């Protein structure tokens, strides 16, 4: 019996219309990365399991997709005492879980050939065995740019400019790029006198959007802060005003912490370097924490327009010593990533995809039979040579069947070369949206369409 075909849960087919729109997003990001001097890297889908294990926390380890070794595995399986050990015995390889660890692994493996700083971008799928749900997939693209081997804050400025350019190019008015500095949060923990609770404080603050100020305060108490500590965090979180005002208040509140002062200084440079002209200047957000522990300097998060409830569409920050995991300590890095699936949803909801990202073939020549086919095809090939995508319908079917094909494909123009057109040496060109129909001399066809569709 034939089973109805399906795809694994949490995965997606991308049909032509969706691929075209996704390509438009990728292309906008890629072009920007390259203008800023970032270079493409592609790593294998499979990594050695040992490269990935232990890099994403205990929860992360469970979500790594492992690849079964080929060949004789039965004997090995029989030695396992639990499922976890079984997986390790049967699998040498696993699917990429993110782009950061493979990047670090690549840098270490190629450290002697690379020109540092190494500015790389990478756009590839990653796989996670998360429970699939709305907006969360088991296969999805990540889209990262990182600079490794440079402490210069120029990199921070450039990465913020990349966000600014990409979101502007995508026409996403109202996007926000929010920045903070991890050293400021460290300073806060210092001020309280509990630097060992930095992670707890960070994790709690990170939930502000979800659980509100009350919730954060309660969680901080639960995590071992005194009421007095919580009051300090509270006054920190309530810092307001424009960027300059916020930086000044931070300076006052955290004046006793040298590390915080360093963080404020870095943040201030990034925002006021005099280098950058932002379309939409980054906003200081002291409540921005970002859960990941490895950040040590600037942290950044990008949000779509407020009219679309979408949350973060990108994020990043500076980290130290990423390559130390693989035996190459002392390289600082800073990077950002784009959330392509969410950016897609924002553009879709606000109808911001340009027409060019939604069309493929521009002109369909109807197939009017043997006599006109060579003439029609000659024009099709001429249009293609000029970079205009054109097709001749594959067979001399009934007119309405051919028109239906044009419609279903979203082809904006059809051209008819029938007997009368052949005799008069012209063609009928029809705009399917407006219904307008023109007679065009055959010799003028290229010029006619060149202006309309390129």
346 Cβ contact list (under 8 Å, min separation 6): 172, 304, 305, 308, 310, 313, 352
Q: Would you say 83 and 90 are in contact if contact means Cβ atoms under 8 Å apart?
A: no
Among 58, 374, 400, 433, binds a copy of itself (CB under 8 A): 374
Q: Is 160 annotated as a binding residue?
A: no
3-state secondary structure of 298: strand
Q: Is 444 annotated as a binding residue?
A: no
Neighbours of 117 (CB within 10 A): 20
Kindly list the distances between the CA atom of residue 160 and the CA atoms of 53, 156, 173, in Å, as whole numbers in the listed order.
Answer: 32, 6, 16
40 forms beta bridges with 121
Among 26, 60, 125, 221, binds a copy of itself (CB under 8 A): 125
| 66 is a contact residue toward a copy of itself (CB under 8 A) | yes
Interface of this chain with a copy of itself, residues 151 to 170, rule: CB under 8 A: 151-152, 154-155, 161
CA nearest neighbour of 61 among 91, 32, 106: 91
Give the span between the Cα atoms of 143 and 170, in whole angstroms.
16
Q: Nearest 5°: phi and psi at 64?
A: -75, 130
Tokens of 290: 């970002």
Give the span between the Cα atoms of 336 and 323, in whole angstroms.
17
| 454 is a contact residue toward a copy of itself (CB under 8 A) | no
Among 252, 327, 433, 451, binds a copy of itself (CB under 8 A): 327
Instruction: Give me the DSSP letters along 376-399.
Output: HHHHHHHHHHTT--EEE-SS---H
CB 76 to a copy of itself: min, Å: 9
- Segment interacting with a copy of itself (CB under 8 A) among 220-228, 235-243, 401-409, 429-437: 401-409
Q: Is 287 annotated as a binding residue?
A: no
| 6 is a contact residue toward a copy of itself (CB under 8 A) | yes
Interface of this chain with a copy of itself, residues 242 to 301, rule: CB under 8 A: 274-277
| 398 is a contact residue toward a copy of itself (CB under 8 A) | no
Residue among 62 and 136 whose Cβ is closer to a copy of itself = 62
Interface of this chain with a copy of itself, residues 173 to 192, rule: CB under 8 A: none
> Dihedral of CA 328/331/332/336: which sign?
negative
Question: Taking the CA of residue 422 as centre, how many other CA atoms within 13 Å lie in the half-sphere pointing to its CB?
Answer: 12
Residue among 26 and 448 whose Cβ is closer to a copy of itself = 26
CB 60 to a copy of itself: min, Å: 12
| 13 is a contact residue toward a copy of itself (CB under 8 A) | yes
| 403 is a contact residue toward a copy of itself (CB under 8 A) | no
Q: Would you say 442 and 425 are in contact if contact means Cβ atoms under 8 Å apart?
A: yes
| 15 is a contact residue toward a copy of itself (CB under 8 A) | yes
CB 289 to a copy of itself: min, Å: 27
Residue among 200 and 321 whose Cβ is closer to a copy of itself = 321
Q: Would you say 352 and 366 are in contact if contact means Cβ atoms under 8 Å apart?
A: no
Residue among 387 and 435 whose Cβ is closer to a copy of itself = 387
Residue among 45 and 234 whose Cβ is closer to a copy of itself = 45
Among 288, 392, 415, 429, binds a copy of itself (CB under 8 A): 392
- Segment interacting with a copy of itself (CB under 8 A) among 36-44, 177-185, 295-303, 346-354: 36-44
Give the span between the Cα atoms of 1 and 202, in whole angstroms.
56
């Amino acid at each position: 019996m034939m089973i109805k075909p399906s795809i694994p849960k949490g995965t997606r087919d991308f049909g032509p219309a969706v691929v075209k729109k996704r390509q438009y997003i990728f292309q906008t990001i890629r072009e920007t990365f390259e203008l800023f001097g970032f270079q493409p890297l592609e790593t294998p889908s499979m990594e050695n399991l040992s490269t990935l294990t232990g890099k994403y926390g205990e929860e992360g380890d469970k979500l790594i997709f492992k690849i079964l070794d080929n060949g004789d595995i039965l004997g090995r399986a029989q030695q396992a005492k639990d499922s976890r050990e079984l997986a390790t015995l049967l699998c040498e390889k696993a699917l990429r879980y993110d782009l950061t660890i493979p990047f670090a692994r690549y840098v270490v493996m190629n450290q002697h050939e690379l020109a540092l700083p190494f500015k790389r971008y990478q756009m590839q799928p990653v796989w996670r065995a998360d429970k699939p749900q709305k907006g969360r997939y088991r296969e999805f693209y990540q889209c990262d740019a990182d600079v490794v081997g440079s402490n210069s804050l120029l990199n921070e400025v450039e990465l913020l400019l990349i966000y600014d350019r990409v979101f502007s190019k995508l026409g996403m008015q109202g996007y926000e790029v929010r920045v903070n500095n991890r050293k400021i949060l460290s300073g806060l923990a210092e001020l309280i006198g509990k630097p060992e609770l930095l992670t707890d404080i960070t994790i709690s603050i990170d939930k502000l959007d979800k659980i509100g100020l009350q919730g954060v305060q309660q969680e901080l108490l639960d995590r071992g802060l005194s009421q007095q500590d919580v009051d300090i965090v509270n006054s920190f979180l309530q810092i307001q005003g424009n960027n300059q005002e916020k930086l000044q208040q931070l300076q006052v509140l955290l004046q006793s912490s040298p590390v915080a002062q360093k963080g404020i200084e870095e943040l201030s440079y990034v925002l006021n370097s005099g280098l950058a002209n932002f379309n939409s200047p980054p906003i200081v957000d002291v409540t921005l924490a970002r859960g990941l522990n490895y950040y040590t300097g600037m942290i950044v998060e990008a949000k779509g327009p407020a009219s679309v409830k979408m949350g973060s569409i990108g994020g990043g920050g500076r980290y130290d010593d990423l390559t130390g995991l693989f035996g190459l300590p002392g390289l600082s890095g800073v990077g950002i990533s784009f959330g392509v699936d969410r950016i897609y949803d924002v553009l879709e909801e606000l109808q911001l995809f340009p027409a060019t990202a939604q069309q493929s073939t521009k002109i369909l020549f109807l197939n009017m039979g043997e006599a006109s086919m060579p003439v029609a095809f000659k024009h099709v090939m001429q249009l293609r040579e000029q970079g205009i995508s054109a097709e001749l319908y594959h067979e001399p079917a009934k007119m309405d069947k051919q028109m239906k094909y044009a419609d279903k494909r979203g082809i904006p123009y059809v051209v008819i070369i029938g007997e009368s057109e052949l005799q008069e040496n012209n063609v009928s060109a029809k705009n399917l949206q407006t219904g307008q129909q023109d007679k065009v001399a055959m010799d003028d066809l290229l010029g006619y369409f060149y202006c309309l569709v390129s």
